[in-house]
Amino acid sequence: MRLKIYQVGEPILREEAATLSVEEIRSPSIQLLIELMRDTMREASGVGLAAPQVGEPIQLAVIEDPIEGVEALPEHIRDERERTPIPFHVIINPILTVEPSTLTNFFEACFSVSGFAALVPRSHSVKVECLNEIGEPQVIKAQGWYARTLQHEIDHLHGTLYVDRMISRSFMTREFYLRKWHTKTSADVKGKF
């Protein structure tokens, strides 16, 4: 079953989401939500989905970057974005620390801003302290595309969308992005927007 994905304009996408207790995390309703969010993300071929995007104002997101998606990219793009396969996992009540690092500019899209893409500056390295799907504490250190995904999903839990951070002159339809910019490097993009 695929959940409805809320589109920009829905107030829930702009709200601060609530944290979950360990007891709540282990409840059947949250465990079912995790399964449904996983299936929804996979059906839509995404690498992350945050609970507010499916109408649940809670600090929970699912992340997965399957090997098929990574290998479908041209090698030079995969390497430049530092995109590596990430197994399915859940982050709950995350605290994001941006590690001192340079900002990188790559195109991002979002299920909740359907049909568009833009360049978004993000930190290259992050640390995330959170709970996992059974409420155990985790510390995630991430770089490259995974760090970008974490920043994008954690933003959703605080009512922030990539359009708040994008280089606005690079905002374009997804169709145009796929046709013109999808396989371009940072060097190709630099100075164009």
What DSSP string runs through 111-124? TTSTTEEEEEEEES
> Does 118 interact with Zn ion (rule: CB under 5 A)?
no
- The residue among 135 and 165 lying less far from Zn ion, judged by its C-beta, is 165
Phi and psi dihedrals of 88, rounded to 5? -60, 130
Closest of 149, 159, 92 to residue 126, by C-alpha: 149
Catalytic residue chosen out of the listed positions 35, 82, 153, 175: 153
Q: Given the rule CB under 5 A, which of 10-18, 110-118, 126-134, 184-192 is the region that contacts Zn ion?
A: 110-118
Min. distance of Cβ 43 from Zn ion in angstroms? 16
Q: Given the rule CB under 5 A, which of 94-102, 103-111, 128-136, 175-183 is the region that contacts Zn ion?
A: 103-111
Q: How far apart are CA 71 and CA 94, in angstroms?
A: 29
Q: How far apart are CA 29 and CA 37, in angstroms?
A: 12
Of 41, 61, 110, 131, the one binding Zn ion (CB under 5 A) is 110
Q: Given the rule CB under 5 A, which of 104-112, 116-124, 163-171, 173-181 is the region that contacts Zn ion?
A: 104-112
153 is catalytic: yes
Rg (CA), the chain: 16
Contacts with Zn ion by CB under 5 A lie at: 110
